Copies of this chain bind each other. A is one copy, B any other.
Amino acid sequence: MSKKYSIGIDFGTKSGRAVLVDVDTGEEVTTSVLEYPNGVIDERLPLEDEEVELGIDWALQDPNDYMKVIYETIPEVIQKAKIAPEQVIGLGIDFTACTMLPVDEKGEPLCNKEKFKNRPNAWVKLWKHHAAQPYANKLNEVAEQREEEFLKRYGGKISSEWLFPKIWQILDEAPDIYEAADRFIEATDWVIMKLTGEEKRNISTTGYKAIWNKESGYPDKKFFKALDTDLENVVEEKLSTDIYDLGKKAGNLKKEIAEKVDLRPDVTVAVANVDSFVSVPAVMVSQPAKMVMVMGTSICHMVIDQKEKFVPGMTGVIKDGILPGYYGYEAGQSAVGDIFEWYISEGIPSYFKKEAADNNMNVYDYLEEKASELKPGESGLLALDWWNGNRSVLVDADLTGMILGLHLNSKPGEIYRALIEATAYGTNKIIRTFEESGVDIDELYACGGLVQKNETLMQIYADVTNKPIKIAASKQTPALGAAMHGAVAAGSKNGGYDDIDEAIQNMAHLMDKEYHPIPENVKIYEKLYKEYEKLHDYFGRGENDVMKRLKDIKQKYE
Residues of B within 8 A of A379 (CB): 554
Residues of B within 8 A of A554 (CB): 377-380
Residues of B within 8 A of A381 (CB): 550
Residue pair A350, B347 in contact (C-beta under 8 Å): no
For this chain, the copies found in one complex come to 2
CB nearest neighbor in B for A380: B554
Residue pair B351, A349 in contact (C-beta under 8 Å): no
Q: What range describes how many residues of A lie at the interface?
A: 35 or more
Nearest CB on B from A384, distance (A): 8
* Complex CA distance for A114 and B102, rounded to whole angstroms: 94
Restricting to A503-558, which residues have a CB under 8 Å from any CB of B?
524, 527-528, 531, 534-535, 538-539, 544, 546-547, 549-551, 553-554, 556-557
Interface residue? A458 (CB, 8 A): no
Instruction: Determine, out of A239-247, A399-407, A434-442, the stretch whose residues face the partner at the interface.
Output: A399-407
Nearest CB on B from A537, distance (A): 11
Interface residue? A112 (CB, 8 A): no
Q: Give A contacts to B, CB under 8 Å.
A: 335, 338-339, 342, 345-351, 353, 375, 377-382, 387-388, 400-408, 410-412, 524, 527-528, 531, 534-535, 538-539, 544, 546-547, 549-551, 553-554, 556-557
* Complex CA distance for A351 and B347, rounded to whole angstroms: 10
Q: Which 10 A-B pairs have the closest CB atoms?
A: A401-B406, A380-B554, A377-B553, A350-B350, A402-B404, A400-B405, A378-B557, A405-B550, A531-B546, A380-B550
Residues of B within 8 A of A346 (CB): 349, 410-412
Residues of B within 8 A of A535 (CB): 544, 546
CB nearest neighbor in B for A556: B377
Nearest CB on B from A51, distance (A): 27
CB nearest neighbor in B for A341: B408
* Complex CA distance for A260 and B335, rounded to whole angstroms: 69
Nearest CB on B from A387, distance (A): 5
Residues of B within 8 A of A378 (CB): 554, 557
- For A338, A538, A550, the residue with the greatest tally of chain B CB atoms inside 10 Å of its CB is A550
Partner of A403 from B402, B408, B527, B547 at Cβ < 8 Å: B402
What 7 new A-B contacts, CB under 8 Å, besides A377-B556, A380-B550? A342-B408, A346-B411, A382-B550, A402-B406, A527-B549, A531-B550, A534-B546
Residue pair A338, B408 in contact (C-beta under 8 Å): yes
Residue pair A528, B544 in contact (C-beta under 8 Å): no
- For A338, A382, A524, the residue with the greatest tally of chain B CB atoms inside 10 Å of its CB is A382
* Complex CA distance for A342 and B414, rounded to whole angstroms: 14
Selected A-B contacts with CB under 8 Å, 27 pairs: A339-B408, A346-B349, A346-B411, A348-B350, A380-B550, A380-B553, A382-B546, A382-B550, A387-B407, A388-B407, A400-B404, A400-B405, A400-B406, A400-B407, A401-B404, A401-B406, A401-B410, A402-B402, A402-B403, A404-B547, A527-B549, A531-B546, A531-B549, A531-B550, A534-B544, A535-B544, A538-B538
